[in-house]
Structure 1
């Protein structure tokens, strides 16, 4: 994208990560609180604009980075991996002014394709979970991003919740079988968890407990 003269210019931009809202104020006095989901599904990137159906599954998406593009736009990087959306100041202003109409039309398109949008529960957190050693084999993956309920507030409650997700998993996450890191630091059961934390779960024994296949 080449620089061009913008009609509107922001006076303040602030990401409210916990509420997944981008606040932006402009030089004419108007200010908007734009949900990250709204910005994601109305990205101007070609791979979004050319879809034959509306983007889905973006209810809990957040912004991981905002990068200046010259003096007239920003590139917004989302935590679902989408990083090609360039938003000019005028585009952001228009998205703010037309939010109600755009959002209503988006919801109608979702209804038309039969997609049931699920609002994230208050207090939900998105965590990146890393599995090591035999745990990765048991879980059939080395990592995954999960949205956990508000009741998962610390390491102990996370292990309990992970054990309930699949039949047969409880034995894998017993506290005496694993050690847990949060953002690469070993923790205690009472260590609090926050939006975007990276959780590493490391078995304390080289041998996995005998469990049935997870389902």
Structure 2
């Protein structure tokens, strides 16, 4: 008896950070760099070569074109557009990302190729607090810098709990409904520089916290 491969329930391209976010029906979530997807393209001319592709550190995806009910074609901004990525392929690329990427880097080392390192850019988001959350934080909005490790709503809430330990319970993810750029979001929603994030309580009263 064969097990059916999970299918993606959501595919989002984050151009600023050059990441393709994939959310599958079994609950698996992957964020795959465009460079990774490009150098592991399913195109025949790529798979047939023993020499790893180089020079794609800054490549981005221009378009995502559905191919029936089983795959997408990724069109990259370097002109490459012959890779058809089935749901199974995308799932495998996500599940095996660490292993695949390390193997790729090892091959580059063997070639003596030095990857260009992308410059670390400052990332910030504008936060808006509503109802009792505004009372507890003492403000209706603020702009904060995001560490490179903070890329999702869940990680943002963890950061806020660490920054404000005296009121950490108010940032419990179960108590808040996140909205990003005026669209309802999920805990796994990716954050880009300049995003506006509203945190709206989903219950009428706040959790107990020490008086501040």
Question: TM tier, shorter chain?
Answer: 0.5 to 0.7
Segments of structure 2 that go 5 or more residues without pairing to the other structure are 123-212
Segments of structure 1 that go 5 or more residues without pairing to the other structure are 125-215
Partner Cα distance (2:5, 2:28) in 1: 13
How many residues align? The count is 120
Partner Cα distance (1:113, 1:7) in 2: 35
Q: 2:13 aligns with which of 15, 24, 46?
A: 15
**CA drift at 1:52:** 2.6
The answer to whether the Cα contact below 8 Å between 1:6 and 1:89 also exists between their aligned partners in 2 is no
* 1:120 alignment counterpart: 118
Aligned 1:1-215 pairs, distance under 5 A: 7-123=5-121
Change (3 A) 1:108 1:18: same
Change (3 A) 1:6 1:69: farther
**Which of structure 1's runs of 4+ aligned residues deviate more than 4 A?**
none
For normalisation by structure 2, the TM-score amounts to: 0.55
**CA drift at 1:7:** 1.8
Partner Cα distance (2:50, 2:34) in 1: 22
Secondary structure at the aligned position of 1:105 is classed as helix
**CA drift at 1:122:** 2.9
Question: Deviations for 1:1-59, whole angstroms, at most 9, x for unmatched residues?
Answer: xxxx9622111110000000000000000000000000000001011111231000000
Give the CA RMSD over aligned residues: 1.6
Secondary structure at the aligned position of 1:15 is classed as strand
